[in-house]
Amino acid sequence: MRRRLVVAMLLLVSAALMVAGAGSQLLVRQATLDDARQDVARQAEQFARVSDDLRRPALLAALRRALRLSGADVVRFSPRGRLLTELPSGISSADLRASDLAVGATVSGIRGTLVYAVAPVPNATGGVVGVVLTRELRALNRGFGFFLLAALVSLGFAALLGRRIGRRIALPLEVAAAGTRAIAAGDLAARIALPANADPEVASLAASISSLAANLERSRAAERDFLLSVSHDLRTPLTAIRGYGEALADGAIDDSARAGAVITNESRRLERLVGDLLELARLGAGSFALTPSEVRLEDVVAGTAEALQLAAADAGIVLTAPAASDAVVVADPDRLAQVVANLIENALAYATATVDVTITTTDGVAGFAVEDDGPGIPAAEQAAVFARHYRSDRGRHVGTGLGLAIVAELVAAMGGTVTVASPRPSGLPGTRLAVELPAIPPSGRPAPPEPR
């Protein structure tokens, strides 16, 4: 890349020098020739006034040397315009335009590097008489050598500058490319360290790549921890099922009913874990379907809380159902019930004595909140509670530990939001998880049927 940058800069400078040099040479050449033509014309007009003295050859030769003229002669045309004398070399009779001389006009022109001028002699008899002067400008191309030297020096400086700029631009990009290849090859610990003088744009690109690698590394570590945790959760019920199954097969257990109950409970636990994993996979792939409709929030929230009263009683927790409410939201009723159940089960896993479920309404939104009086969530972990790989060790390990991740995915799919507050807004210890969904105002609901 550096070589290409240097070559490109050299080509650009060369093209600029060629255009500038050729243009300058042409302009200077034309200006010099015009100035010389005008000068020769003035001299010819002056000499035409003293044409009698110019008839002496010695005087003409002296004038040519003094004025750096190539030729100086007196020419004569017949009344019909025919040339009667010889002309200086380099010009022809057509260049002199006898008709213009006959009316008293000075004729001048340029032929290559030769400039000439013919001034008519006033009061000449027997035809047209004129003084013709010519000057050869042989030094017009002397500036080409200086231009060539300047061009070579400029190209040398351009090569040095191009190499420096190419190194400044290409080196950080090469370092970034090497780091990117290392990251793509699986080395997520690789970081891109650029020199201090790197351009801000390249430095920003390198920082973004390093940040991406760091995020991938954290995600891989979290995924690894999650898989280890899930593997443990899968192994625990499988171990219990296998142990009691082998014991029953060997006749080593007298209380077969108790063994059957343990196997049944562990099978249900295993089924729930596998179901949650499959649910997360479907949510991540976007392959689940929602059927949104107008849902009376109290029906779903209160009904789900009532169904979990037995689980709360078994855990020694008082589960308080929400008060009556006429709030209506747009949601999938089955998925909304799943969200409510996951939040209540999560609260039961951490509560000390009580879990409170309430329905909330504000402008344009309605929802519900689940509060527990458990140990709470540290501030540093609150941003990660809805992550798929997050697990806490402060609860009773009821459920699979994947419920909040499923809640976040489902609520987002239904156009709502879920938030966490710990300690609770009341200032009491514990955790409050709140869900808000788009609400339908009373004015937008269909009127109830009139009684008959």
**Within a domain: residue 20?**
yes
Tell whether the model's pLDDT for residue 331 goes beyond 60: yes
Cα atoms in the 13 Å half-sphere on the side-chain side of 5? 14
For the residues 4-30, what does the mean pLDDT come to?
72
**Within a domain: residue 213?**
no
DSSP string, 142-167: GHHHHHHHHHHHHHHHHHHHHHHHHH
For the residues 39-45, what does the mean pLDDT come to?
85
Residue length of the chain: 452
Indicate if 365 and 396 belong to the same structural domain. yes
Number of structural domains the chain divides into:
3
Tell whether the model's pLDDT for residue 314 goes beyond 50: yes
For the residues 119-129, what does the mean pLDDT come to?
73
For the residues 345-359, what does the mean pLDDT come to?
91
Indicate if 278 and 298 belong to the same structural domain. no
**Within a domain: residue 54?**
yes
Picking from 96, 129, 144, the residue at the C-terminal end of a domain is 144
Indicate if 327 and 250 belong to the same structural domain. no
Picking from 144, 160, 193, the residue at the C-terminal end of a domain is 144
**Within a domain: residue 110?**
yes
Indicate if 260 and 347 belong to the same structural domain. no
**Within a domain: residue 186?**
no
Of 91, 72, 75, 49, whose CA–CA distance to 129 is shortest?
Answer: 75
Question: For 38-47, 211-220, 229-238, 361-370, which range has the lowest pLDDT when averaged over its residues?
Answer: 229-238
Greatest mean pLDDT among 218-227, 268-277, 304-313: 304-313
Indicate if 275 and 335 belong to the same structural domain. no
Give the pLDDT confidence of 50-76 residue by residue, as tens digits: 655 555 555 556 655 655 666 667 777
What is d(CA 176, CA 192) in angstroms, rounded to the nearest whole number? 6
Tell whether the model's pLDDT for residue 435 goes beyond 90: yes
Indicate if 9 and 138 belong to the same structural domain. yes
- Where does the pLDDT of residue 406 fall: very low under 50, low under 70, confident under 90, or very high at 90 and above? confident
Picking from 80, 112, 144, the residue at the C-terminal end of a domain is 144
- Where does the pLDDT of residue 103 fall: very low under 50, low under 70, confident under 90, or very high at 90 and above? confident
**Going by C-beta distance under 8 Å and a sequence separation of 6 or more, which residues neighbour residue 208?**
none
**Within a domain: residue 39?**
yes
Cα atoms in the 13 Å half-sphere on the side-chain side of 380? 1
Indicate if 268 and 362 belong to the same structural domain. no
**Which pLDDT value is given to residue 123?**
64
Indicate if 297 and 407 belong to the same structural domain. yes
CB count in 10 Å sphere of residue 97: 14
**Which pLDDT value is given to residue 447?**
44
Parallel, antiparallel or unpaired: strands 107-111 and 318-320? unpaired
Question: For 16-30, 249-263, 375-389, which range has the lowest pLDDT when averaged over its residues?
Answer: 16-30
Of 336, 315, 300, 320, whose CA–CA distance to 435 is shortest?
Answer: 336
| pTM summary value | 0.49
**Which pLDDT value is given to residue 3?**
65
Cα atoms in the 13 Å half-sphere on the side-chain side of 49? 5
Q: List the CATH number of the domain containing 28.
A: 3.30.450
**Which pLDDT value is given to residue 134?**
86
Indicate if 306 and 431 belong to the same structural domain. yes
Indicate if 304 and 422 belong to the same structural domain. yes
Tell whether the model's pLDDT for residue 416 goes beyond 60: yes
Q: How far is CA 285 from CA 61, 222, 280, 402, 427, in A?
A: 103, 19, 9, 16, 39
Of 55, 33, 56, whose CA–CA distance to 116 is shortest?
Answer: 33
Q: Is the peptide bond before 423 cis (omega within 30 degrees of 0)?
A: yes
Give the pLDDT confidence of 153-212 residue by residue, as tens digits: 777 777 777 667 666 667 777 777 888 888 888 887 888 877 776 777 777 888 888 888
Give the pLDDT confidence of 126-153 residue by residue, as tens digits: 678 778 888 887 766 666 666 677 777 7
**Within a domain: residue 86?**
yes
Q: List the CATH number of the domain containing 318.
A: 3.30.565.10
**Which pLDDT value is given to residue 79?**
76
For the residues 314-331, what does the mean pLDDT come to?
89
For the residues 95-112, what does the mean pLDDT come to?
84
Give the pLDDT confidence of 358-370 residue by residue, as tens digits: 998 887 789 999 9
Indicate if 297 and 429 belong to the same structural domain. yes
What is d(CA 164, CA 9) in angstroms, rounded to the nearest whole number? 11
Better-predicted residue by pLDDT, 283 or 258: 258
Better-predicted residue by pLDDT, 352 or 155: 352
Indicate if 245 and 337 belong to the same structural domain. no
Give the pLDDT confidence of 241-261 residue by residue, as tens digits: 888 888 888 888 778 888 888
User: Which amino acid type is present at position 134?
Assistant: T
Give the pLDDT confidence of 335-345 residue by residue, as tens digits: 898 899 889 98
Report the share of the chain in percent with pLDDT over 70: 77
What's the angle, vertex CA 42, arms to CA 39 and CA 43, rounded to 5?
A: 85
**Within a domain: residue 228?**
no
Q: Which residues span the domain enclosing 53?
A: 2-144
